[in-house]
Amino acid sequence: MSKEILMVAEAVSNEKGVDQEIIFEAIEQALATATKKRYDEGANIRVVIDRETGDYESFRWWDVVADDVLAELGTQFTTEEAIEKDATLTVGDVFEETVENIVFGRIAAQTAKQVIVQRVKDAEREIIVNRFKHRVGELLNGTVKKVTRDHIVVDFGDNAEGLLPREELVGREIFRINDRTRVILLGIREETRGPQLLVSRATSDMLVQLFQIEVPEISEGIIEIKGAARDPGQRAKIAVKSKDARIDPVGACVGMRGARVQAVSNDLDDERVDIILWDDNPAQLVINAMAPAEVESLIVDEDTHSMDVAVNADNLAQAIGKGGQNVRLASELTGWVINVMTVEDALEKQEAESSNFVESLIEALDVDEDVAVVLVEEGFTSIEEVAYVPLEEMSAIEGFDEDIAEELRARAKDALLTRALASEEELSNTEPAEDLLEMDGMDKALAYKLAAKNIITMEDLAEQAVDDLLDIDEINEERAAALIMTARAPWFAEESE
């Protein structure tokens, strides 16, 4: 039997490429499981195999528990029972004795086979995980092993398989068994059936890495891919930048007679790829990204991180693209929200906004329309901009001098002050309740500030937490806690009654 065990360990190890130690442990577990079946009650069994000779020993063991604990039959001893075996045993110790070995026969072999199969699967899973966990995001080459309605199974060799869902395919491409394909490893999902490599052909990384293969300047680091956006199987945009002024990054990616970009397109079911020149200026980058549409004008709104892009009316459909595809990809590539409109619509929108700015400046600064129009034309769209612009910048406006600039700034600051006072007065219109005003530790100013936070009564204050009050300037944690406890005093008084 000992020689048979050694032969099994060696054969399975060689066949599956798994460490022999894992096979020995599986056989030990199988022998222990078979040995347990000898006993009617539960039993703790362990088997130890000599790795050199194949000989093995079997042991049964019991945990020692206190006398006042109901010991589990067959697996635990009370201290009273344990002392009968060994007078030195105490609670927490383990008593163990040698038992007769079970023969490594048919039943034990079947049990061992089941355990070995599971342990081998576990080992193979770990091998695959270790093999691929550092390759997430990489391009992998594989062979189609199975095609179903929902997904495609891609074989990477050595028992490693990838799951390619239908939604991660490019366009309407069709695969057959044994077809070669390239995919991007998205991640590893460990399951009882083995680790599942989740792969994709629709991710933007697929486009980037195909260009790295086809364009040597990219793999050498001379040209950098700054971003990519895809509508898989239909259209994509990729932004490139050269670190060497002598090299045209767009031309290098296109290749001689379009050979390089065509090779990428062919691998992606003839997906059309626009190669865009990267620009650190966001406005110019958006203009480049809108290609092939020509941009007539562009207005940047930093606050909303958006741009209004104006094109000629006969160019509008091309700028938007089929189903909004062109503008959507340009927006994804640049990271800006892009609003496409005709030149006429852009002028109307600009005039409407300018009119609103003019009216607000006329009212706030008490100036005539001509002055307000000049300010808007010079880029002033708010009272804050007028109030805090450098004096020399405003006085440099044609028709303005230092005195006019000073007066406009002063009026703007007065308007801001008036607005702030009105806001404060609006807050102060909320009156605190009498019990809050008269509460110990409260002052009138603080009561009004609490009322502005909708804390009107002592009951309201009692329901607050310390953190709720810390945004009020004159309150620290200690005072906030004291005020809240004072407000809660009536609660405790009611409980004591």
Indicate which CATH number applies to the domain containing 122. Answer: 3.30.1480.10
Q: Are strands 297-301 and 337-342 parallel, antiparallel or unpaired?
A: unpaired
Burial (CB count within 10 angstroms: exposed 0-12, middle 13-18, buried 19+), residue 75: middle
Q: 450 and 373 share a domain? A: no
Domain assignment of residue 230, yes or no: no
CA 185 vs. chain centroid, Å, equals 17
Per-residue model confidence (pLDDT) at position 331: 92
Which of 103, 127, 151 is the last residue in one of the domains?
127
Q: 108 and 148 share a domain? A: no
Q: 106 and 145 share a domain? A: no
Domain assignment of residue 226, yes or no: no
Tens-place pLDDT, residues 328-370:
999 999 999 999 988 888 887 776 766 777 777 787 777 878 8
Do residues 394 and 405 make contact, with C-beta atoms less than 8 angstroms apart?
Answer: yes
| SS3 call for 273 | strand
CATH number of 353's domain: 3.30.300.20
Q: 308 and 375 share a domain? A: yes
Q: 31 and 45 share a domain? A: yes
Tens-place pLDDT, residues 365-386:
778 788 877 777 777 777 777 7
Domain containing 162 equals 133-202
Tokens of 11: 């054969």
Total domain count, the chain: 4
Q: 376 and 322 share a domain? A: yes
Domain assignment of residue 424, yes or no: no
Domain assignment of residue 218, yes or no: no
Cis peptide before 292 (omega within 30 of 0): yes
CA separation for the pair 379, 321 (Å, rounded) = 33
CATH number of 484's domain: 1.10.150.20
CA separation for the pair 451, 428 (Å, rounded) = 8
In the block, which residue shows the tokens 């290609």?
A: 291
Regions of the chain where pLDDT drops below 70:
1-2, 16-17, 104-113, 115-116, 190-195, 351, 353-354, 420-429, 494-497
Q: 10 and 116 share a domain? A: yes
CA separation for the pair 86, 200 (Å, rounded) = 64
The full DSSP string for 401-414 is: -HHHHHHHHHHHHH
Domain assignment of residue 23, yes or no: yes
Do residues 116 and 12 make contact, with C-beta atoms less than 8 angstroms apart?
Answer: yes
Q: What count of other Cβ atoms lies within 10 Å of the Cβ of residue 234?
A: 18
Q: 354 and 438 share a domain? A: no
Domain assignment of residue 20, yes or no: yes
Q: 58 and 120 share a domain? A: yes
H or E element, residue 56: strand 56-65
Per-residue model confidence (pLDDT) at position 396: 78
Which of 166, 184, 202 is the last residue in one of the domains?
202
Q: 85 and 150 share a domain? A: no
Q: 45 and 156 share a domain? A: no
In the block, which residue shows the tokens 């703007």?
A: 412
Tokens of 450: 């609490």
How are the residues of the chain apportioned to helix, strand and coil, as percentages rounded to the nearest 5?
Answer: 50, 20, 30
CATH number of 146's domain: 2.40.50.140
Q: 138 and 86 share a domain? A: no
Domain assignment of residue 245, yes or no: no
Which of 127, 160, 186 is the last residue in one of the domains?
127
Domain assignment of residue 411, yes or no: no
